[in-house]
Amino acid sequence: MPVLTGTCVCCGEFRGVDADDGHCARCATGRCGCDGEDFDREEPGDIEPDEGNGETTVSNGLNKVMLIGNLGKDPEVRYTNSGSAVCNMRLAVGERRKSGDTWEEHTEWIDLVCFGKTAENVGQYLGKGSQLHAEGRMQTRKWEDRDGNTRYSTEVVCQNVIFLSTKNSGAGAGNGRRDSSPAADEMPF
């Protein structure tokens, strides 16, 4: 069982988690006392009763997203009326694309949201420029703006966030050094 440092999908604690299912050792054995409840975690093939006629349906799809990138700004943590933490972030994921004979840099900006202890840890330890690995599922929300127009937002609901660098270490934390050249200060994230 490969173990990674991250936030347990069950209890939300930041510790070593199983790379396959995202649970810490306490939750895998049922000793955490959290009733085994994951944060909105759904597995493909879950069988659920149909609300309309009581029949059983089986989902044949897979909704899984894995991203590595840098935060474009500091994470925004807020709390619901019930006291649960919610964290919103913008992740910059860069790639190189070939255009004719040249390579061009392209950045995709992705909205992420996480909940509970994961949200608190992200808000405490990550900041603009921090690099992270996020796993979760895509979700589209429907909402109304101030003018009453219907809007849609697509975001990744994170079930596991692994910190590849922190607020103080910046984007180049993999080797323990930070690039202090003027070009590094001008980076968009």
Q: What is the pLDDT of residue 175?
A: 39
| Residue 119 backbone dihedrals phi, psi, to 5 degrees | -60, -45
Q: How far apart are CA 17 and CA 94, in angstroms?
A: 27
Query: What's the rounded Cα separation, in Å, for the pair 134 and 151?
Result: 25
Range 66-172: architecture per CATH? Beta Barrel (2.40)
Q: In the chain, which residue ranges form alpha helices assigned H by DSSP?
A: 25-29, 116-125, 182-185
Helix (H, G, I), strand (E, B) or coil at 89: strand
pLDDT number for residue 140: 94
Residue in 167, 158, 135, 139 with CA at minimum distance from that of residue 71: 167
pLDDT given for residue 5 in this prediction? 58
Q: Report pLDDT for 36.
A: 46
If you compute the radius of gyration of the chain from its CA atoms, what whole number of angstroms results?
Answer: 19
pLDDT at 60: 75
Chain length of the chain: 189
CB 72 within 8 A of CB 90: yes
> What pLDDT sits at residue 144?
93
pLDDT computed for residue 168 by the predictor: 73
| pLDDT tens by residue, the chain, 189 residues | 555 556 666 666 656 666 566 667 667 665 555 544 444 444 444 444 445 555 555 567 899 999 999 999 999 999 999 999 999 999 999 999 988 999 999 999 999 999 999 999 999 999 999 999 999 999 999 989 999 999 999 999 999 999 999 887 655 444 333 344 444 445 454
Amino acid residing at 106: H
- Nearest CA to 18 out of 29, 7, 4, 31 is that of 4
Looking at residue 61, its pLDDT comes to 86
What is the pLDDT, as a whole number, of residue 147? Answer: 95
User: Quick one: pLDDT at residue 182?
Assistant: 43
Residue range(s) in the chain whose domain bears CATH number 2.40.50.140: 66-172
At 22 the pLDDT is 67
Distance CA 101, CA 96 (A): 13
pTM score: 0.58
